[in-house]
Amino acid sequence: MSLVELKNLKKEFGTIAALNDLSLDIPEGSLYGLLGPNGAGKTTTLRILSTLIEPDAGSVMIAGLDAIKHPREVRKQIGYVAQEVSIDKILTGKELLHFQGDLYHINSELRDKRIAELIKRLDMSEWIDRRAGTYSGGMKRRLDLACGLLHQPKLLVLDEPTVGLDIESRSTIWQLLEELRFQGTTILLSSHYLEEVESLADQMAIIDNGRVIAEGAPEYLKQQLGGDRVTLRVREFSNELESGKVKDLLANVEGVRQIVVNRAQGFSLNLVVDNELVIQRLQTHLNKAEIPIFAISQSRPSLDDVYLQATGRTLMDAELALVGKRDKKQESKSSMR
Amino acid sequence: MTTTRSRYSSDEVEEKLFSEISQETLALTRRLFLQLIRRPSTLIAGILQPIIWLVLFGALFSKAPESLLPGGISYGRFLGAGVIVFTAFSGALNAGLPIMFDREFGFLNRLLVAPLRSRSSIVFASFIYITTLSLLQSFAIMLMAFALGFGWPGINGLFLVLTTLLLLVFAVTALSLGLAFALPGHIELLAVIFIANLPLLFASTALAPISFMPVWLGWLAALNPLTFAIEPIRAAYGGHLDLRIGLLHAPYGEVNGYQCLVFLMLLTIGLFLLIRPMLNRKLA
């Protein structure tokens, strides 16, 4: 059963379309990863389903409730942990948790019990009575997560939960998320870290330009791509001319499906091949033409390959392309309410 | 959810509604007061500034001939009412700042994703906080004025002072909260506060009666909401508690105490109606 059903969502900020007909089904009990570069529409999607903003068109059903018609009922079901940590510097962590408990109308006995549990679980006892202004990024993020969990939501929504965090805080959070899923909480997280989605999510969607371009279990998406990946370097740092020549030479080898020159990796060649036998044929061809081999390696398709296949560019390239392309004025408008 | 809701009778639902609204309003208000107690500089500056006005301005005109002012009162006595009103006014004008900072730091989103029974709780909390703060500051100024020998309104007069100040504080708080949602950021809100503050003070009867002013300034002062709050308080300090007596000799005619209070009431209602659609839109 789906806990979240988003259908044909559209949202524009000024003239910029953030979501173009985005649809998404999130099964109950899953840990769902939303992968995409910055600006793909991840945050907008999460803000819509957390009832912070309304879509221009489309429907949002959460736990069988229409989030646009009954936002208050839906808010009770959701714990939302925003990307930018919003913590009152003047309050202590515990005071913020009390405050949060009152906003969700939890009675004081239950509230204090849950706060004590969360302090223990997220290992916050040492600093929870200090003012939040003194906290590190990891502490703030853990406190923010505790706030989102205090009312025991059915659905936990996390926007880039570990961006810019130290390794220890990151693994604490990852571990907690796995435990929560085990206990039956549905978790939706957005990320532009392949690694995070790969190691946590059992279901995922790739979002690009405000729409879903691939959807399913990470393993399934990788298997669907088929073929193996070969990375070939004729020298540690090659040049465009040389790589181009090698590309032409290998293009007609039996079992080679596709060759891309990877500029970002010192003009190495990325090949998609039918199976592991092709790599020997490649070596034979190179030997015959007296071309040296600095490195040749083979791997199964990765999530990055899934992304590449779906969008025609790597996630890294997509991130780079976005730098300097953003409209500052629109951003400040849409970031504030 | 609908299934749980149907279990409650309508009385229980109402009781729950009330207890939930008070729980969230109390939490929001407590936060504002905790901020004030841990960062008391606003409170201290808010009390010090009018005391400085009172001492410096009072001294500046202390040698003015007694017959100069209407009713033959000393300048200190005359000034007291103006400074009390100005204190309450500038305190209330800052009401929007905490909300503006919550907007900018994303803390408001924390409130907006929570299932608040009514988002008016956010506005209620601001009103409770600012009203308490303004009255506290005004009371401190009244004590200071008393210590400087500028008089004390007495019990009945105090009631008139309180009523007048509450009306003014409600109106200005509504205005400031409206601005906190309408303006893009705190820089703009601060700019409006700076621009509004002193000119409104000078173009009122806080520092001098209308009879001292050139005609155009007299008109401005006679239309200035601060004047309508200053005159009843000045009357209370003078022991004139009959509100039917004309208090303000405006270019357009005589204004009595009742009319002053009715004007303030209308202003409050008008500003509430003005900001309501905006709050509904931003907090819907």
Mean predicted confidence (pLDDT) in B43-61: 87
**Alpha helix segments (H runs only) across B94-224:** 96-104, 107-112, 120-147, 154-182, 186-202, 215-223
Structure tokens at A124: 């916050």
Structure tokens at B71: 């009713």
Contact B115 A72 (CB under 8 A): yes
SS3 content of chain B, % helix, strand, coil (to 5): 75, 5, 20
pLDDT mean across residues, chain B: 89
**Maximum Cα interatomic distance, chain A, rounded to a whole number of Å:** 79
User: What separation in angstroms does the CA of A69 have from each of A66, A74, A327?
Assistant: 5, 9, 32
Q: How many CB pairs under 8 A join A and B?
A: 73
Mean predicted confidence (pLDDT) in A295-319: 79
Judged by phi (left if over 0) then psi (alpha if -120 to 50, else beta), residue B84 lies in: alpha
User: What separation in angstroms does the CA of B128 have from each of A36, A308, B122, B205?
Assistant: 45, 56, 10, 28
| DSSP one-letter code for A131 | B
Handedness of CA B137, B141, B146, B148 (dihedral sign): positive
User: What separation in angstroms does the CA of B165 have from each of B132, B152, B205, B234, B238?
Assistant: 11, 16, 16, 12, 17
Q: Is A50 on the interface with B (CB under 8 A)?
A: yes
pLDDT reported for residue B65? 76
Contact A99 B38 (CB under 8 A): no
Q: Is B20 on the interface with A (CB under 8 A)?
A: yes
User: What separation in angstroms does the CA of B36 have from each of A90, A319, B22, B129?
Assistant: 10, 43, 21, 10
Residue % of chain A over a pLDDT of 90 = 50
> How many angstroms separate the CA atoms of B90 and B220, rounded?
19
pLDDT above 70 for B173: yes
ipTM of the prediction: 0.87
Query: Are A237 and A67 spatial neighbours (Cβ–Cβ below 8 Å)?
Result: no
Q: Identify the residue among A77, A88, A151 best suited for mutation to test binding to B, counting B beta carbons within 10 A and taking the highest.
A: A88
Mean predicted confidence (pLDDT) in A22-43: 92
- Distance from B92 to chain A by nearest Cα, in Å? 22
| DSSP one-letter code for A202 | S
Chain A residues closer than 8 Å to B104 by CB: 336
Mean predicted confidence (pLDDT) in B96-119: 93
User: What separation in angstroms does the CA of A105 have from each of A36, A86, A99, B116?
Assistant: 36, 20, 10, 8
Of A50, A98, A131, the CB nearest to B113: A50
Closest CA to A94 of A141, A67, A128: A128
Q: Long-range contacts for B259-265 (Cβ within 8 Å, ≥24 apart)?
A: B260/B164, B260/B228, B260/B229, B260/B231, B260/B232, B261/B163, B261/B164, B261/B167, B261/B228, B261/B232, B263/B225, B263/B228, B264/B164, B264/B167, B264/B168, B264/B171, B264/B225, B264/B228, B264/B229, B265/B167
Structure tokens at B217: 């300034």
Structure tokens at B182: 């309408």
pLDDT reported for residue B69? 80
> How many angstroms separate the CA atoms of A40 and A322, rounded?
10
Instruction: Specify the CATH number for A227-300; select among 3.30.420.40, 3.60.15.10, 3.30.565.10, 3.30.70.100.
Output: 3.30.70.100
CB atoms within 10 A of CB B63: 7
For B117, half-sphere exposure in the C-beta direction (CA atoms, 13 angstrom radius) is 20
Where is average pLDDT lowest: A39-48, A57-66, A302-311, B123-132?
A302-311
Chain B residues closer than 8 Å to A111 by CB: none
Contact B112 A52 (CB under 8 A): yes
Structure tokens at B125: 């909390």
The residue in chain B having the minimum alpha-carbon distance to the alpha carbon of residue A48 is B113
Q: Is A328 on the interface with B (CB under 8 A)?
A: no
pLDDT above 60 for B6: no
> How many angstroms separate the CA atoms of A177 and A179, rounded?
5
pLDDT mean across residues, chain A: 88
pLDDT above 70 for B5: no
pLDDT band at residue A55 under the 50/70/90 scheme: very high
User: What separation in angstroms does the CA of A50 have from each of A40, A66, A212, A326?
Assistant: 18, 12, 19, 24
pLDDT in tens, A132-174: 999 998 899 999 999 999 999 999 999 998 888 888 888 889 9
> How many angstroms separate the CA atoms of B181 and B174, rounded?
11
Closest CA to B223 of B263, B194, B271, B172: B263
Contact B110 A95 (CB under 8 A): no
Q: Is B17 on the interface with A (CB under 8 A)?
A: no
pLDDT band at residue A331 under the 50/70/90 scheme: low
Contact A100 B114 (CB under 8 A): yes
Q: Which residues contact B88 (CB under 8 A, 6 or more apart)?
A: B134, B135, B137, B138, B165, B168, B169, B229
Contact A102 B117 (CB under 8 A): no
Contact B113 A75 (CB under 8 A): yes
Chain B residues closer than 8 Å to A88 by CB: 31, 35, 107
**Segments making up each domain of chain A, as ranges:** 2-222, 227-300
Mean predicted confidence (pLDDT) in A266-273: 86
Mean predicted confidence (pLDDT) in A246-251: 87
**Segments making up each domain of chain B, as ranges:** 2-283
Q: Is B37 on the interface with A (CB under 8 A)?
A: no
pLDDT reported for residue B107? 94
pLDDT above 70 for A175: yes
Contact B31 A76 (CB under 8 A): no
pLDDT reported for residue B185? 93
DSSP string, A46-108: HHHHTTSS--SEEEEEETTEETTT-HHHHHHHEEEE-SS----TTSBHHHHHHHHHHHTT--H
Handedness of CA B226, B229, B232, B234 (dihedral sign): negative
pLDDT reported for residue B114? 95
pLDDT above 90 for A116: yes
DSSP string, B235-265: HHHTT---TTSEEEEETTEEEEHHHHHHHHH
Contact A98 B107 (CB under 8 A): no
pLDDT band at residue A332 under the 50/70/90 scheme: low
pLDDT reported for residue B83? 93
pLDDT reported for residue B36? 94
Mean predicted confidence (pLDDT) in A67-82: 94
pLDDT above 70 for B280: yes
pLDDT reported for residue A322? 62
User: What separation in angstroms does the CA of B256 have from each of B82, B83, B244?
Assistant: 18, 21, 6
pLDDT band at residue A8 under the 50/70/90 scheme: very high
CATH number of A2-222: 3.40.50.300
Q: Is B117 on the interface with A (CB under 8 A)?
A: yes
Structure tokens at A199: 């190691």
| DSSP one-letter code for A273 | E
